[in-house]
Amino acid sequence: MLSELIEHGHGMRRIAPAKGDVGLFCMATGAGYELRVNEVYSWDGLRRGSAPFVLIQHTISGEGRLDYAGMLHVLRPGETMLLTFPHANRYWLERRKSWEYFWIILTGREALRLAGAILSTEGPVLRPGQVTLDRLAGACLALLSGVAELPGAISAAAYAAVAALYDEVFGTASELPDLPAPVLRAQRFVEENLGRVVDVAMLASASGLSRAHFVRLFTAAVGQAPSEYLFERRMERAMRLLLATDTPVHAIARACGFADANYFSKAFRRSRGVSPGAFRRAGRSPGGVVLDPAPLAR
């Protein structure tokens, strides 16, 4: 479907709201396929009005830049940017660069709900597989070409786009182990608070159990003590940010719940065997070796 979208050519379509009082909870208000070359192109997520909406934008060639709540991302070919508005984000094209992409703008509470779930799990930049990419491109082509013309068809194309990303992120959720509810509550608390200073007492509180009972239950169910699990989730997030963004190491430390950048660097080296900077350089160099997320012996 991507090749068909490219063959269709560059263009944009704005879609007027449907008439009547019947609400469609996932609706497209626009779609496009564009090429920007060495021009002023910058969007501020806090200056696009107060009405909430979702943007899906997939990079085909060139590259863009994204500042997402202080995290800097380089948007490369094959990567999909997912944003909700209003939000503290900005994306732009740097001078003397080019950026070719297709996009869909969505509104409605279901679009916002699904986008929020994806963002809380994966963040604003995804690298979808070919099946997902074809679904995204097909939805954009249907909207851009006018094949999706009636409100129901437009809504179906919009839902197909955000559902494709949802499947990409959560499609294997049924394969996860069946864990006790208190453990799942603690794990959810970890995912939602990786950027905060969190300790075992807070996890026990989130689980609804006493500290001693929680530690025994969690360790037996997961195979790791809660403190080890929390540390590994922070390390995994740090590794993703080091490879996928240009965010400084001290900012990544804060985003992963480390108040002190020096302690973060020491902990990273002790866990992964290299410094954060060396890990980033190795992962981005041709033939570079990226360490497995599993911890080294400590």
Residue 228 pLDDT more than 80? yes
Do 126 and 217 sit in the same domain of this protein?
no
pLDDT of residue 173: 47
Question: Residues near 75 by Cβ (< 8 Å), separated by ≥ 6?
Answer: 59, 63, 64, 65, 66, 81, 91, 99, 125
Tokens (6 digits) for 122: 């994966």
Kindly indicate the confidence band of residue 219, based on its pLDDT and cuts at 50, 70 and 90: very high
Other C-beta atoms lying within 10 Å of the C-beta of residue 148: 24
Among 119, 154, 173, residue at a domain's last position: 173
What is the arithmetic mean of pLDDT over 174-203? 82
Do 29 and 155 sit in the same domain of this protein?
yes
Q: Is residue 278 part of a domain?
A: yes
The residue that leads in pLDDT, 194 or 135, is 135
Mean predicted lDDT score pLDDT of the chain: 85
- Distance CA(168)–CA(53), nearest Å, equals 21
**Does the reported pTM lie above 0.85?**
no
Do 52 and 68 sit in the same domain of this protein?
yes
Range of the structural domain that residue 86 is part of: 2-173
| Count of domains observed in the chain | 2
What is the arithmetic mean of pLDDT over 219-230? 91
Among 173, 191, 213, residue at a domain's last position: 173
Measure Cα distances from 85 to 125, 148, 185, 289 in Å: 15, 24, 28, 37
Q: Is residue 54 part of a domain?
A: yes
- Distance CA(34)–CA(12), nearest Å, equals 8
Tokens (6 digits) for 242: 């080091």
Q: What is the pLDDT of residues 253-290, one digit of tens each?
A: 888 888 888 999 999 998 888 889 888 887 766 544 44
Among 173, 195, 219, residue at a domain's last position: 173
pLDDT of residue 292: 43
Q: Is residue 297 part of a domain?
A: no
Max mean pLDDT range (115-124, 218-227, 243-252): 218-227
Residue 248 pLDDT more than 90? no
The residue that leads in pLDDT, 294 or 20, is 20
pLDDT of residue 284: 62
pLDDT of residue 156: 92
- In the chain, the percentage of residues whose pLDDT exceeds 70 is 91
Q: Phi/psi of residue 242, each to 5°?
A: -65, -40
pLDDT of residue 288: 45
pLDDT of residue 29: 92
The residue that leads in pLDDT, 136 or 260, is 136
